[in-house]
Amino acid sequence: MKIGFIGLGVMGLPMAGHLIAAGHELHLYRVKEKSRSLVEQGGQAADSARAVAEASDIVILMVPDTPDVDAVLFGEDGVAEGLSAGKTVIDMSSISPVATQDFAGRIAELGCAYLDAPVSGGEAGAKAASLSIMVGGTQEDFDRVLPVLETMGKNITLVGDVGAGQTAKVANQIIVALTIGAVSEGLLFASKAGADPAKVRSALMGGLASSKILEMHGQRMIDRTFEPGFRISLHQKDINNALSAARSLKLSLPSTALCQELFNACAAQGDGELDHSGLVKALETMAAHKVAEDS
């Protein structure tokens, strides 16, 4: 199949690589030094997003944020200028669910399908082609592109209509951030009260407090391994999407708002590029106490 891929960063690079390896004809935009290998594998470098759209049946986006998707789709020499009826846009970036509805409407006016398909699983999941993919769109469009998505991910769910994929991703990021906050306060309490946080973590695993975050990020807090992983600055972007969308929707998310303030405090003390488990460091600064000593 002729597939365009725009956004060849940490996530997009291995994802596009899987598509080439699966035998698809890939049209790539903004090939740089780091993504040159894709051309060596057979990918074709285009000199605009428009050119990618002209040459492809399906155009996949994997860019950082809402304004980037806007620019790539509707900017000068953008995807919209190169589309013709019957083509499909799949936005795999993590962006605003509200803006997604708007983008999809404008793409539909061109006679094209639009699916939002954000992922979770991070760089490791992208490399292993084991990403979870949360999709919004019609059942028909979903069925048509599923084989392409299966080249990049494993747990692929049609959540609902256009925007529902981004909504699920935002919900995911809310729950992940707040669960990191939960584990942070629990382990910091235990440590400050004089208990061994590693033993407390072990005692709690398996019970109601157990979570992927207690397992992975709790261990990081104890081991002081805050190299990303998933950066606080990226999680701030996702939580910003959550809070902006919530305001549009007239929805109060008090714990999410507080969590963003703690991420902001991390950024203030120079920890914005740490793994999001580094959230605990904002609380540690307030408490003048660490879950465990830095090694």
> Which residues are identified as catalytic?
169
DSSP, res 199: H
Of 23 and 206, CB closest to a second copy? 206
Q: Three-state SS across 237-288? A: HHHHHHHHHHHHCCCCCHHHHHHHHHHHHHHHCCCCCCEHHHHHHHHHHHHC
278, 217 contact by CB (below 8 A)? no
Of 35 and 260, CB closest to a second copy? 260
In whole angstroms, how close is the CB of 277 to a second copy at the nearest point?
Answer: 11
Of 17 and 197, CB closest to a second copy? 197
In whole angstroms, how close is the CB of 12 to a second copy at the nearest point?
Answer: 20
In whole angstroms, how close is the CB of 5 to a second copy at the nearest point?
Answer: 23
Residues comprising the chain, all counted: 295
- The SS3 call for residue 78 is coil
In whole angstroms, how close is the CB of 285 to a second copy at the nearest point?
Answer: 10
DSSP, res 123: H
Of 79 and 174, CB closest to a second copy? 174
Distance of CA 91 to the CA centre of its chain: 11
In whole angstroms, how close is the CB of 17 to a second copy at the nearest point?
Answer: 22
Distances, alpha carbon 156 to alpha carbons 96, 123, 146, 258, in Å: 20, 17, 8, 31
Q: Is 135 exposed, middle or buried (0-12, 13-18, 19+ CB in 10 A)?
A: buried
Q: What are phi and psi of 153, to 5 degrees?
A: -145, 180
Of 18 and 217, CB closest to a second copy? 217
